[in-house]
Structure 1
């Protein structure tokens, strides 16, 4: 994990903001404005002052009306989930409205989510220490989990019982897991080793292992055709393996920053890697020795990313902000959501309506991102100094509003 994740930022985001509907519902009764005091005990009132006061009251009424309209909007995303222990990872079920959430004591909680409420389905005590990464199987029947206890656990989602385990699967704490298909999965550890496993083999022995990195494995992925296996590391390099022939292919030179997460875009023609300094490194598919482009970000560690469309990626950052970026052409679209602490994990639900993110204050937030269908294509024209403004732009899913947007209807 990126070392900067351990340095919590205790400062809330500065600036004026408007909270979501949950905040307003509890306070709407105190928002009424009474005009009786201003109309009484005034024998001599200048006509011009009356006109100005009436205009001011009218404007204030319009603002209150706008706030009330916002509070009456139907909830379009599930409420937050708050846990007692620090969240380490989350994963959406591939077929049902279920989310799995792991924590630092080794447990995994399963929740059924709706726009109105989240229902706890059960808590699985699967590991003896921090459960670092979880992922569902392709059919959603099995949940894979890895831990700092060096074990791999496979649990039945319906019964919540353990169905298979690999005790002492690595010599060092396991940092991540990637389920490649219905039979294969890959794990990486804190010292840079990866292991490939086959569920069809009735033993606890991996079918392939390699150590090409000198630091933790941060992410592992493959393409749909399962030709390549890609691994990013805290040592600042990316390695590529021939998955079908199980052999090492190429490794990049070490960058001066950690490679923290990976994503595939543009119909798998582009590989993207996030870095500990907030950059996005772009690689052409099949040309993994050297990046083809670098897109600068907000200069804060990118801890995780998730593809939203073929062109749009959402990054989870150390400053507590979820940002949306359009890749071709390069352009920051704005802020998807905000946490008060660093955002560690992000995932997207099976129908693409929501993403969920977790932060250091043990909460999981949901964000409705259906509006991204309109963001898939953006203009190639870039205004001068546009990047700084775009980084501060609040998108519809954010709990905050751009002041100019909020008051635009009052003119």
Structure 2
């Protein structure tokens, strides 16, 4: 989906689930082992008081952890899955596979129902995106073809054969009458569905184009690449604008936040590179992550991003000020390849290399934006181990060691 469609504010909290895809803290999680109900006594609190901001964060997490039933159940398929994409307006998730097909699921808190299968590509479907109005699904495949399918009739409406000389790696709908594609060898092409051929092509990168985005103004196209550079094109005049310095790591994904005044780029070394909008030649800030490759990034508020990593963990990070919030969820024994956010910002879905799709409720992050506005000192290593309410795993640190159920 277009990044500008994914910046809708997140609203109030709803109930959270306790099934196998999202287990909140149980009583045993909240209570320490042994006879003591609370290992942190009043005297210890006086010597090591929790700062006001962190205390508010703990309250927000504890409140969310008590909720139930807040996301759809997981989707488990036998096929090798390649990508996922939420419909921008309806409760539909598109799931592509290595056979070249796209399955459409109507999701709800109770169940996920397959409402149709689109048999599109002769080889693996490598990426997809919806038009802004949701009426058309755009897909790319290893067969070098681009397919446009009508969502109302589930029929193919346009077909570009041999659209690139190399297999395409990514596709992005950039406006009402324009979309872009990037391939394994660094070529980008722009297309207008009303005409039979590409309207612009260029090659400024030596490696694969990992992701392409624009903003609401649709003036610039930003492309991240495996060669370590961020390349910017002028969409309106259809020409090359600027290329950043070449970083010694793959640039794997990109997102917009802070009312599209900031650009965050993820790398295969786990770093967050931050650029100012209109200043694409050199990053303005860098924030080190957990040293695991970042495979996908989704801005979920104006300050918070969720990222998918090679170690199977989905992490949340507050970018202004820099702070690791914790673990949103985890795919056991599987790389997390991509994440996407649903149309109303209630939850995200993640795809693991084992072809499991999990849903995670993220509404509680609205409260984090309210309480994470101070530049207090924090323990980054500990915070990267914190499990948030959506996670199905018990907390790996002592972050919640002092929490007890207020009703117990």
Maintained 8 Å contact 1:216/1:234: yes
Match of 1:227 in 2: 219
| Bigger relative CO (Cα 8 Å, ≥ 6 apart) | 2
Maintained 8 Å contact 1:190/1:215: yes
Q: TM-score, normalised by structure 2?
A: 0.82
Q: 1:186 aligns with which of 173, 180, 186?
A: 180
Deviation at 1:406? 7.4
CA distance in 2, matches of 1:134, 1:361: 20
Q: 1:280 aligns with which of 272, 278, 294?
A: 272
**Structure 1 residues not aligned, in runs of 5+:** 1-19, 25-54, 60-69
1:289-328 Cα shifts (integer Å, max 9, x gaps)? 1111110000010000001001000000000011101111
Q: 2:153 aligns with which of 159, 163, 180?
A: 159
Maintained 8 Å contact 1:237/1:259: yes
CA distance in 2, matches of 1:303, 1:133: 14
Q: 1:388 aligns with which of 361, 367, 381?
A: 381
Match of 1:314 in 2: 306
CA distance in 2, matches of 1:361, 1:166: 31
Maintained 8 Å contact 2:135/2:152: yes
Q: 1:408 aligns with which of 400, 403, 408?
A: 403
Shift in alpha-carbon separation, 1:406–1:116, aligned structure 2, 3 A: farther
Match of 1:293 in 2: 285
Match of 1:122 in 2: 116
Matches within 5 A, 1:84-233: 84-201=78-195, 203=196, 205-233=197-225
1:253-287 Cα shifts (integer Å, max 9, x gaps)? 21100000010111111111100000000011101
Q: TM-score, normalised by structure 1?
A: 0.81
Shift in alpha-carbon separation, 1:372–1:71, aligned structure 2, 3 A: closer
CA distance in 2, matches of 1:298, 1:234: 20
Aligned length: 350
SS in 2 for 1:241: strand
Maintained 8 Å contact 2:184/2:209: yes
1:21 paired to 2:18: yes
Maintained 8 Å contact 1:22/1:71: no
Match of 1:353 in 2: 346
Maintained 8 Å contact 2:386/2:399: no
**Structure 2 residues not aligned, in runs of 5+:** 1-16, 22-33, 39-63
Deviation at 1:22? 2.7
Larger radius of gyration: 1
Match of 2:325 in 1: 333
Deviation at 1:404? 5.8
Maintained 8 Å contact 1:91/1:135: yes
SS in 2 for 1:361: coil
Maintained 8 Å contact 2:65/2:389: no
